[in-house]
Amino acid sequence: MKKIKLILLALLLLIPFNVKAIVPPMSDFYVNDYANVLSSETEEYIIDQSKKLAAVDGTQIVVVTVPDLDGEEIEDYAHELFKSYGIGDSQKNNGLLLLLALEERLMRIEVGDGLEGILPDGKTGRFQDEYMIPYFSEDDFDKGMKNGYDAFYSEIVKLNNLDIDYSEPTMPSSDISYSFAEKFAFFVFIGVFGFIIGVNMGISMGPFTKKHKPLGYTIDIILNLIILLCFSAPAIPFILGFIFGLQEGMKHPYRTRYGSVRNRYYDSGSSFSFGGSSSSGGGGHSSGGGSTRHF
Amino acid sequence: MKKTKNVILIILLVVVIFIVGVVASGVGAYNSIVGSEENVNKALSNIDTQLQRRADLIPNLVNTVKGYMKHEQDIIDSITEARQNLVNASTLEDKDQANKALTDAINQLYIVVENYPDLKANTNFIALQDEIAGSENRVAVARKDYNEAVNNYNTMIKRFPNNLIASMFGFESKEYFQADSDANEVPEVSFD
């Protein structure tokens, strides 16, 4: 009887070791968006990039988001996740875990032993401060996670001298950051502006054949030149537009040919991916290194 | 005559096979106990390594903080002292005690840092904070790993037939690393 009691007691003592309500890895392994905060483009991007990296030297970067931590400390939760997923190669221990807990508003980076050299705790904290938290504090989890992922990815690729394409993260230091489309629209606008002035000037100069010009012609040109100088900063699109406009205007009677602008920087869509094989952890180990941030 | 000789031979053979089997399984059990004990020792020295790593970070912290804090010499002294105790401690229990004292001293520092916005924003200081928090977490992980290794070892030497081998060669059960006492203690509330 006494022995049975002892065994029961031992079993009870074992329970706290095993009851850990961590989320299981999803089929794609590299992205486990349980909190549902990532866009499908970001998920695909991360899965693609992580697969490429793992194919080169076994480094595995895994992103996990959870709605809440179920009362656990994020450090324990992250370590438990790292261990049970087995992130990284079992010999090189080159795994990296990015864990976001939505309700607690916590972000943790857990670093496998093999990556501690290039990603010391202090650096992982700085990367969070610089590349992730500014977005997270505005509830832009998708952008923050992608940007942070890029930061760690590019650091690993660069410092390990790997031959893979990577994208640099953006540093959201200034509050105003224009997207590429916005910048493009701005330049088109300036170009059109220059074009109109050019047309204006061209008309006043008249066709090439006219030999004698009235006084108004000189004044017009000077006025237009002053306006031109005022926009010297974004000068290139302006001047280009101006020259085109001038040519058009001098053809008089002019035929406006505002051609449609086509964005040439479209994605070529040649991303490389491995056919359907689902990934899994390589059995990497972490000693609990990394950093935690509240946002 | 020949028949009884044969029977004796068969019995002898069975006995020999039995003895060989017992010895072989005994050797196997012995080896696995040794291996398990080795894991415990490895986990134990890992705690030591992580504590040492923690102690190594402190001088850097003190140097960074010194330049900013002119009026908090007490706290800086208490951190230096706690670190010295940690370095000098010989047994693991002493080291654990010293480590706790060090944690308390560092937490004191973090409280007064609120009054020094320049220090708080210093990137070097922020990085050090991360390193120290990381080392704390590594100690916690190493401690958990140790307890797991002890758990494996203890259950192994209690199981039959390993318990026979264990008592024969003097393998004794090992003690768990006590969980953080202040974390588990229920705070005393007095109503007088």
Domain spans in chain A, listed from the N-terminal domain onward: 10-175, 180-251
Using pLDDT thresholds of 50, 70 and 90, give the confidence band for residue B17.
very high
| CA atoms within 13 A of residue B64's CA, in its CB half-sphere | 20
Cβ contact B95:B86 at 8 Å: yes
Using pLDDT thresholds of 50, 70 and 90, give the confidence band for residue B3.
confident
Domain ranges of chain B: 42-173
Selected residue with higher pLDDT from B184 and B103: B103
| DSSP code string of A101-168 | ETTTTEEEEEE-GGGTTTS-HHHHHHHIIIIIHHHHTTT-HHHHHHHHHHHHHHHHHHHTT------P
Beta strands of A105-148 (E only): which ranges?
106-111
* Interface contact flag, A291 B50, Cβ < 8 Å: no
b/e sequence B98-120, b meaning 16+ C-beta within 10 Å: bbebbbebbeebeeebeebeebe
Which residue, among B130, B141, B153, B156, would best test binding to A if mutated, counting the most A CBs under 10 Å from its CB?
B130
* Interface contact flag, B131 A121, Cβ < 8 Å: yes
Chain A residue with Cα closest to B155: A10
Amino acid present at A184: F
Cβ contact A289:A111 at 8 Å: yes
Q: Tell me if the bond preceding A67 is cis, omega within 30° of 0.
A: no
Nearest to A287 among B131, B141, B155 (CB): B141
* Interface contact flag, A291 B130, Cβ < 8 Å: yes
Q: Is B120 on the interface with A (CB under 8 A)?
A: no
A215 is written with which tokens? 């006084």
Q: Write the pLDDT tens digit of every residue in A54-69.
A: 998 889 999 999 999 9
Among A139-153, B32-46, B165-179, name the one with the lowest average pLDDT: B165-179
Average pLDDT score over residue span B42-70: 89
- The confidence score (pLDDT) of residue A268 equals 35
Nearest to B126 among A14, A125, A286 (CB): A125
Three-class SS state of A106: strand
Domain A10-175 has CATH 3.40.50.720: no
Selected residue with higher pLDDT from B3 and A148: A148
- The confidence score (pLDDT) of residue A231 equals 60
Q: Which residues of chain A have pLDDT under 70?
A: 1-20, 173-181, 204-217, 228, 230-235, 249, 251-278
Output Rg (C-alpha) for chain A, integer angstroms.
Answer: 30
C-alpha B192/C-alpha B190 separation (Å) is: 6
* Interface contact flag, B126 A124, Cβ < 8 Å: no
Amino acid present at B122: N
- The confidence score (pLDDT) of residue A234 equals 60
Amino acid present at A215: L
DSSP state of A86: T
Residues of B in contact with A173 (CB under 8 A): none
Selected residue with higher pLDDT from B39 and B183: B39
* Interface contact flag, A14 B129, Cβ < 8 Å: no
Q: Is B43 on the interface with A (CB under 8 A)?
A: no
C-alpha A75/C-alpha A58 separation (Å) is: 24
* Most confident region among A15-24, A106-115, B88-97, B167-176 by mean pLDDT: A106-115
- The confidence score (pLDDT) of residue A145 equals 94
Average pLDDT score over residue span B152-156: 91
| CA atoms within 13 A of residue B167's CA, in its CB half-sphere | 6
Task: Write down the pTM of the prediction.
Answer: 0.67
| Distance in Å from the first CA to the final CA of chain A | 54
Q: Is the ipTM of this complex over 0.85?
A: no
- The confidence score (pLDDT) of residue B185 equals 43
C-alpha A235/C-alpha A187 separation (Å) is: 10
